[in-house]
């Protein structure tokens, strides 16, 4: 299954998805879905007992989010969820990945907030009525602010509060969820939130980042045990965002830099989960930043997974910083998205095959996020997002190549169903296959969404 790459300055192809006859995409057991996250789409931050989250606080702080945007309204999904689920049906998606807003379902004392719980019960019930598989993420970055006030992920107590949250949700929603995901992208929560301050809660200390990561992974391990007890029929996993690093030259120093890039982005998370230990080279990169690890922690973190979610967006070219780290060296004349990220589908294939060769116990994989931002505009009632169409084709082709090299990939979720609040970039960057007019909340299916719908329909009719 091969698609033409897009040369700088050229026009991406816009023809329908036409994978080769032997592509994994034609398999009816290969799941095709769309993904969203609570704070990015729900809005209604002050309604029905929802408490403030760290992202409410962060986005309300001047200078933290582009244009001063916040998630207060977002896509107003809290009120428009029925129409948004109809879009999933219209686009023929077979699965939906969503997240639960922790501040919406529990009060400060840990008691359930029934109105918040009822919202997710209605939503998941409608998804099951529509025949969609449900992938539910417990934590997509919206930590209750009252927990951050007590130290957040730097405080080991948050691990136990997360286990309480997982217990409540899995007891309340057992039978409504096909797949539970404990955490989305702990790298972003730990490094961007506590290491460089780009994300909430906005702290910037590498030692904070490593301790936050340890508590996040420990919370994952404890929650996984709870989920297995309360909802044994579902599958359980975690979602990691991974990065492909390549050296700026063939020098030993630059090759080492690329290795350290992938240690920091990938092995920092995957080694504890799949090997029960942190990579030794991480402490060569960050000497003296080892977290406090108590007896039994690593065994809890390394609890067996039913699946691993992989989020992939871009490749990073790096060189040695002359000490014990790396610096980015952006390549000239390569295709980039509105985020400035390099489009590099081969990086996804290479990472998948690399993980397959590295981890003997690698669980089945779902690509839980893949997509791109562009400055999409509605013209004459249409959105012709030609670059996104080409992007998705080439990344699906990369997944197909990885499967043919032995990697057990069982599904793919496009990021995202809707244009939404893109964290520190606010509403400027559009990732959806459905355009959202934030002034009117009008939804317009983009050309990429139309082509996805056509392909899934064609697949369903294939012998």
Determine if residue 299 is labeled as part of a ligand binding site.
no
Contact yes or no for 245/281 (Cβ under 8 A): no
Is 148 an active-site residue? Answer: no
**Residue that has been written with the tokens 């169903």 in this structure:** 417
Q: Is 438 annotated as a binding residue?
A: no
Q: Map residue 449 onto helix, strand or coil.
A: helix
277 is in an annotated binding site: no
Q: How far apart are CA 76 and CA 61, in angstroms?
A: 21
Q: For residue 368, which of 107, 145, 98, 41 has the smallest C-alpha distance?
A: 98
Residue 416's nearest CA partner among 114, 93, 179, 193 is 93
Among candidate residues 78, 91, 75, 95, the one with its CA nearest the CA of residue 30: 95
Q: Are 100 and 138 in contact (CB under 8 A)?
A: yes
403: left (phi over 0), alpha (psi -120 to 50) or beta: alpha
Of 42, 94, 262, 369, catalytic: 369
Residue 46 tokens read as 């002050």
Calculate Rg over the CA atoms of the chain: 21
Annotation-wise, does 196 bind a ligand? no
Spatial separation of the C-alpha atoms in residues 307 and 226, rounded to whole Å: 17
Partners of 435 in the β-ladder: 444
CA distance 132 to 69: 32
d(CA 278, CA 272): 5
Task: Round to whole Å and give the CA distance between 400 and 24.
Answer: 6
262 is an annotated ligand-binding site residue? no
How far is residue 263's CA from residue 267's CA, in Å, rounded to a whole number? 5
- Active-site residue, from 148, 185, 335, 342: 185
Is 157 considered catalytic here?
Answer: no
Alpha-carbon dihedral angle through residues 29, 34, 39, 41, given to the nearest 10 degrees: -140
Q: What whole-number distance in Å separates Cα of residue 2 and Cα of residue 100?
A: 37
- Residue 140 assigned as binding residue: yes
> CA 305 to CA 363: how far, in whole Å?
6
For residue 423, say whether it is annotated as part of any ligand binding site: yes
CA distances from 214 to 156, 170, 179, 229, 294 (A): 9, 23, 24, 23, 10
In the chain, the N- to C-terminal Cα span, in Å, equals 19
- The residue whose two tokens read 């893949």 is 370
Residue numbering of the annotated binding site: 40, 140, 184, 313, 415, 422-423
Residues annotated as part of the active site: 185, 369
Residue numbering of the annotated binding site for substrate: 40, 140, 184, 313, 415, 422-423
């Amino acid at each position: 299954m091969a698609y033409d790459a897009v040369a700088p300055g050229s026009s991406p192809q816009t023809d329908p998805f036409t994978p080769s006859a032997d592509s994994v995409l034609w398999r009816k057991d290969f799941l095709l879905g769309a993904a969203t996250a609570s704070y990015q789409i729900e809005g209604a931050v002050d309604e029905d007992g929802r408490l403030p989250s760290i992202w409410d606080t962060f986005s309300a702080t001047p200078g933290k989010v582009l244009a001063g945007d916040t998630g207060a309204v977002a896509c107003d999904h809290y009120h428009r969820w029925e129409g948004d689920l109809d879009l999933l049906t219209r686009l023929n998606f077979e699965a939906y990945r969503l997240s639960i807003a922790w501040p919406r379902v529990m009060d400060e004392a840990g008691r359930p907030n029934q109105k918040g719980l009822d919202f997710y019960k209605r939503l998941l019930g409608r998804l099951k009525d529509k025949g969609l598989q449900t992938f539910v993420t417990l934590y997509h970055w919206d930590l209750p602010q009252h927990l951050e006030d007590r130290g957040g992920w730097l405080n080991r107590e948050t691990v136990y509060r997360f286990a309480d949250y997982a217990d409540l949700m899995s007891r309340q929603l057992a039978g409504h969820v096909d797949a539970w995901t404990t955490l989305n992208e702990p790298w972003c929560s730990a490094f961007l939130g506590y290491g460089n301050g780009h994300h909430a809660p906005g702290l910037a200390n590498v030692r904070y980042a490593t301790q936050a990561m340890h508590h996040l992974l420990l919370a994952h391990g404890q929650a996984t045990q709870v989920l297995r007890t309360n909802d044994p029929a579902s599958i359980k996993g975690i979602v990691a965002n991974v990065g492909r690093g390549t050296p700026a030259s063939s020098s030993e120093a630059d090759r080492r830099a690329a290795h350290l890039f992938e240690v920091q982005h990938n092995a920092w998370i995957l080694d504890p989960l799949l090997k029960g230990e942190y990579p030794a080279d991480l402490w060569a990169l960050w000497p003296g930043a080892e977290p406090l690890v108590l007896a039994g922690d690593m065994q809890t973190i390394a609890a067996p997974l039913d699946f691993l979610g992989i989020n992939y967006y871009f490749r990073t070219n790096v060189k040695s910083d002359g000490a014990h780290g790396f610096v980015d060296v952006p390549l000239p004349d390569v295709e980039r998205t509105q985020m400035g990220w390099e489009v590099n589908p081969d990086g996804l294939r290479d990472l998948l095959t690399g993980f397959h060769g590295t981890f003997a116990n690698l669980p089945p994989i779902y690509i839980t996020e893949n997509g791109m931002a562009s400055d999409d505009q509605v013209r004459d009632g249409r959105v012709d997002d030609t670059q996104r169409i080409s992007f998705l084709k080439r990344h699906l082709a990369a997944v197909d190549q990885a499967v043919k090299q032995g990697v057990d990939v069982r599904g793919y979720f496009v990021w995202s169903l809707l244009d939404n609040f893109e964290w520190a970039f606010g509403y400027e960057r559009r990732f959806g296959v459905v355009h959202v007019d934030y002034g009117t909340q009008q939804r317009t299916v983009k050309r990429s969404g139309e082509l996805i719908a056509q392909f899934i329909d064609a697949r369903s009719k294939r012998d």
